[in-house]
A and B are shown apart, each in its own frame.
Chain A
Amino acid sequence: MTATDVSSGAAQRRSGHYLYAASVALLCAWVLVPLYFLLINTLSSPDTVNSFPKPFIPEFDWGSLEFFAGYEGMLKALKNSVVVAVLTMIMSIAVGAPAGYALSRFEFRGKGLFRMLVLLTRAFPLPLLALPLAVMFIRTGLDDTAIGLALVHTTLAIPFAVLITFSLFSGIPIELEEAAWTLGCTRFTAFTKVVLPLILPGIAASAIFAFVISWNEVFAAAVLTIENRTLTAFLLAKLGEAPLHLKFAGGFILVVPALVFIFAVRKYLFAMWGIANR
């Protein structure tokens, strides 16, 4: 090999490195730029939002957001969204975590079937089931209530809650629990004193995931609520008539919790798919 071969190889490696860095930057821009445009629109006055051409830097005018806050029914929808999402979060963990624990700790008859049932729900277009539930809810008085919608959203979130908690519990050696039993704990106190403190951050992450699932859900929310619309359902219903600045401010409010939550759960996003998908 001659000296020029070596240097051209190095040059090739260097240009490959630049290409790699450039593609990473490009893909980051692909995600961030549309979000930036939404931010500009949200932080501009209603007049600017409806004008042309658009500025490429926000003018930090709160007009659009004020309009959003003052729009008839909007704040109520926002409140409904939060209530439904919090209920979903609580119910999906309360219902899902015991099952995740059972899957990770016990061998029992019917375990395979149970796993199938849980996985099956993930592969189903679940919002479709909102249609018959609407009828059922009217009969039971659950129609158009936060708890009714939260029940449906919990069904959406349960497969995730079960699989995430399953993988979290599997990550805690059974020996720790056994050690606690030999040191004077019952099954329950061993759980609260040893397993729970270790697993709490993961539980919080999966709870947040359930919150986001509910927060973002559109179809079932639109089908099951009329007076007590959630933010997504309300925005969907107003898409045809609402002015642009209302749409953008609403979209922005929808996106903000997502940004915060994905940041909060980022450590757990991968763990839960690693074990959970087999």
Chain B
Amino acid sequence: MAEIQIKGVAKSFGSYTALHDINLTIQDQEFVVLLGASGCGKTTLLRIVAGLETATTGEVWIGGKRVDHLPPKDRGIAMVFQNYAVFPHLTVFENIGFGLRMKKLPNDEVKRRVERTAGLMHIEQLLGRYSGELSGGQRQRVAVARALAMEPDVILMDEPLSNLDALLRMEMRAELKGVLAESNTTAIYVTHDQVEAMSMADRISVMHQGRIVQAASPIEVYRNPAAEFVAGFIGNPPMNFLPATPQGGGRWAVAGQVLDGPQTPKALKFAIRPEDLRLADHGLQAVAKVIEPLGAHLLVTCDVNGALFRAVLDSDLSVKPGDTLTLAPQSDRIRWFDPETTRAVA
């Protein structure tokens, strides 16, 4: 059992606060992705869990044991670093076996485990090489194998795929997901890549300015973003926003259209994903500005009442800049946000 509990963790560097009161519980064998833009505090949080950084306040519990005063080696974790950190003076074999040797395991056990994890990562034929003779992708595999060989309760990954090229990243993504699922470890994975987060995570924890804005399953984060930031950060292209004025009785005026919404007297923001728009007879009047054919779809950037508005439409459609489109939002996909708190309103 290796449940991770982060209780009220905060971190400041001098007068700058990197993390505010973070609370997060990660179930045994859960795969949690910390997602956010650079500087949001996600790496700092991971490093606090690893023990590479000390929290200013708060507690970290792993497997029912309080660990925030223990050095990394006593926390039952393994970590994969962004730049792989494959030791240049050791062979691949010795790199993967490094942690096992530190544990003083017998030679045949080290050999067995190294060969098994090297097999998992498909690098059996590289065991005699040095880091300088490996490609970036191979180094990545060594770094993962080195972490897996420890058979840790918890594996921590800090943007492990960000230095690979796009194709390799896609390949490794799927492979990593499979290997980790088999290894039965609890995983925390830091990334700024939403596609990586969506495709790998059991749960995504979206971070912004040192706070967790939402922690939920990928589809929940996508469909029901808890805050404007999440709506704008997740999804490519991101969600569209338009100001909405209350008409009373749960009726809202949005760019000249009247729509059903929540029962509240103050002004809200109307939000809809670009792919949840359809051409119809009644709807928002949008003037097409830029048309980008993406193969599967047509991305149309429009102007609705002076606001920027994107729609993903069928690629067979013929649209020219300047055309006026009538776009109907799919009613069950409409979301509302309070502009003051930026939180979602049900």
A197 touches B71 (CB 8 A): no
The answer, among A176, A184, A186, for a CB contact under 8 Å with B99, is: A184
Chain B residue at minimal CB-CB distance from A176: B85
Tell me which residues from 77 to 131 in chain B have a Cβ below 8 Å from any Cβ of chain A. 77-79, 81-83, 85, 87-89, 98-99, 102-103
B81 touches A183 (CB 8 A): no
Q: B residues within 8 A CB of A180?
A: 87, 98
What 0/1 readout, one digit per residue, does chain B (31-54) give for beta carbons within 8 Å of chain A? 000000000000000000011100
Chain B: minimal CB distance from A232 (Å): 39
The answer, among A175, A185, A198, for a CB contact under 8 Å with B102, is: A185
B73 touches A185 (CB 8 A): yes
B52 touches A178 (CB 8 A): yes
B81 touches A178 (CB 8 A): yes
- Give how many A residues have a beta carbon under 8 Å from the other chain's beta carbons: 18
Tell me which residues from 159 to 193 in chain A have a Cβ below 8 Å from any Cβ of chain B. 173, 175-176, 178-187, 189, 193
B73 touches A183 (CB 8 A): yes
Q: Say whether B188 faces chain A, with CB atoms less than 8 Å apart.
A: no
Chain B: minimal CB distance from A176 (Å): 5
Chain A residue at minimal CB-CB distance from B99: A183
Q: B residues within 8 A CB of A182?
A: 50-52, 72-73, 77-79, 99, 156
Q: B residues within 8 A CB of A197?
A: 89
Q: Say whether A194 faces chain B, with CB atoms less than 8 Å apart.
A: yes
Task: Give the CA-CA distance A198 to B85 in the complex, in Å.
Answer: 13
Task: Give the CA-CA distance A180 to B143 in the complex, in Å.
Answer: 12
The answer, among B73, B88, B89, for a CB contact under 8 Å with A186, is: B73
Task: Give the CA-CA distance A180 to B150 in the complex, in Å.
Answer: 12
Task: Give the CA-CA distance A181 to B146 in the complex, in Å.
Answer: 13
B50 touches A183 (CB 8 A): no
Chain B: minimal CB distance from A57 (Å): 47
Q: A residues within 8 A CB of B150?
A: 183-184
Q: A175-B81, A175-B83, A186-B73 are in contact. Are A181 and B98 (CB under 8 A)?
A: no
Task: Give the CA-CA distance A259 to B88 in the complex, in Å.
Answer: 31
Q: B residues within 8 A CB of A173?
A: 83, 85
Q: B residues within 8 A CB of A193?
A: 98
Q: A186-B71, A186-B73, A189-B102 are in contact. Are A181 and B85 (CB under 8 A)?
A: no
Tell me which residues from 137 to 157 in chain B have a Cβ below 8 Å from any Cβ of chain A. 146, 150, 156
B72 touches A181 (CB 8 A): yes
Chain B: minimal CB distance from A110 (Å): 15
Chain B: minimal CB distance from A170 (Å): 15
Q: B residues within 8 A CB of A176?
A: 85, 87-88
Q: B residues within 8 A CB of A183?
A: 73, 78, 98-99, 102, 146, 150
- Which of A176, A179, A197 gathers the greatest number of chain B CB atoms within 10 Å? A179
Q: A residues within 8 A CB of B89?
A: 194, 197-198
Tell me which residues from 253 to 285 in chain B have a Cβ below 8 Å from any Cβ of chain A. none
Chain A: minimal CB distance from B84 (Å): 8
- Which of A175, A189, A198 gathers the greatest number of chain B CB atoms within 10 Å? A175
Q: B residues within 8 A CB of A175?
A: 81-83, 85
Chain B: minimal CB distance from A192 (Å): 12
Q: A residues within 8 A CB of B156?
A: 182
Task: Give the CA-CA distance A184 to B51 in the complex, in Å.
Answer: 12
Task: Give the CA-CA distance A194 to B81 in the complex, in Å.
Answer: 16
B52 touches A181 (CB 8 A): yes
Chain B residue at minimal CB-CB distance from A178: B52
Task: Give the CA-CA distance A183 to B98 in the complex, in Å.
Answer: 7
Task: Give the CA-CA distance A246 to B88 in the complex, in Å.
Answer: 50
Task: Give the CA-CA distance A175 to B98 in the complex, in Å.
Answer: 15
Q: B residues within 8 A CB of A198?
A: 88-89
Chain A residue at minimal CB-CB distance from B82: A175
Tell me which residues from 31 to 49 in chain A have a Cβ below 8 Å from any Cβ of chain B. none
Task: Give the CA-CA distance A277 to B103 in the complex, in Å.
Answer: 42
Residues on A lying within 8 angstroms of B by beta carbon are 173, 175-176, 178-187, 189, 193-194, 197-198
Q: Which 4 A-B pairs have the closest CB atoms?
A: A184-B102, A183-B99, A179-B85, A175-B85
With A176-B85, A181-B72 already in contact, 12 other A-B pairs whose C-beta atoms are closer than 8 Å: A178-B52, A179-B81, A181-B51, A181-B71, A182-B52, A182-B72, A182-B156, A183-B73, A183-B150, A184-B150, A197-B89, A198-B88
